[in-house]
Amino acid sequence: MDSVRALQVDAFTDEPLSGNAAGVVPDGDGLTEAQMQAIAREFSLSETAFLLPSGPADRKVRYFTPSQEVDLCGHATIAAHAHLHEDGVIEAGTHTLETNVGVLDIEVAEDGAVWMTQDDPTVRPVDVDYERLATVLGVPVGSLQDVGADMPSAVASTGLPFLVVPVNFLEHVGNADPDMAAVEELCEEYDATGLYAFTFDTLEGDATLHARMFAPGAGVSEDPVTGTASGAAGAYLREVSAFDGELPDEMVFEQGHFVDRPGRVRVRVGETVRVGGDAATAIDGTLSVPAADDDDDILEA
């Protein structure tokens, strides 16, 4: 039986046991896809990142939810590079990362914060019936209609597509009681990974918006703090000309407070969309992995 080093690193926070937890396997070379999926299932976190050798970049990454591989994950990318920097494997500066959506630039600041350049943004407004959307989210229909005239729902992507839905007040975002089966059906209909509901009504005075993200179709009922969705939301705000078309140089997106995992995502929208944040290691240990021809066995933590 083989063993690998495996960590839980909490992204978009500087305190362990908050923000969004990611599994990180620093050396995934030699693991089969089935073994990676089994490890992700054992972690039972929204995503686990496996770092691998790369030809075109400094390193390659593959991301797995407990049920499937996904092309991109912001918080696991932040977590993985924060760990590499803390472990002395990489220095502050710019590093390249091969993902399933292409090679991305990752910048590690001197203070350890990690910035991830997102893929080229796309934003596609969609006409979702307010009554249906209110039922799906479990919010009053008026909370959507109040802002929908100026800020329509849209499918936005900077690597992964999300259905971005503006809501008028924090009260309604916090009290949302989504029908997960209906969320999954709606996201499938619009070819979106998840539904990102946000409001400009925030808890902290320096925050730009507060959000929740639901992705049951990807095996994640509610993701605490979502980097890729934050990048998509930043692209969306530019597209709908929020703030009279002049976005702040840097925005802060709150997320995770309603699942007791508060976090903050820093978002910069310019020629590219960049997402950044801190991370803190919560668990650092060894995981026993059944041999490749014995993948149906139970993992031993």
Length of the chain measured in residues: 301
- Between CA 177 and CA 173 the distance in angstroms is 9
- Between CA 49 and CA 26 the distance in angstroms is 8
- E strand residue ranges, the chain: 2-11, 20-25, 48-52, 59-64, 69-70, 93-99, 102-108, 114-117, 122-125, 154-157, 161-166, 194-199, 209-215, 220-223, 251-255, 263-269, 273-277, 279-289
Q: Verify whether residue 33 is a known catalytic residue.
A: no
Cα distances (Å, whole numbers) of residue 201 to 54, 159, 221, 263:
43, 27, 23, 16
Q: Which long-range contacts (CB under 8 A, 24 or more apart) does 150-153 make?
A: 150/240, 151/240, 151/242, 152/125, 152/126, 152/127, 152/240, 153/125, 153/126, 153/128
Which residue among the candidates 47, 222, 239, 254 is catalytic per the annotation? 47
- Between CA 272 and CA 270 the distance in angstroms is 5
Residue 46: which of 160, 124, 158, 134 has the closest Cα? 160
Residue 163: which of 181, 180, 183, 144 has the closest Cα? 183
Cβ neighbours of residue 241 under 8 Å, at least 6 residues apart? none
- Between CA 64 and CA 235 the distance in angstroms is 25
Residues taking part in catalysis:
47
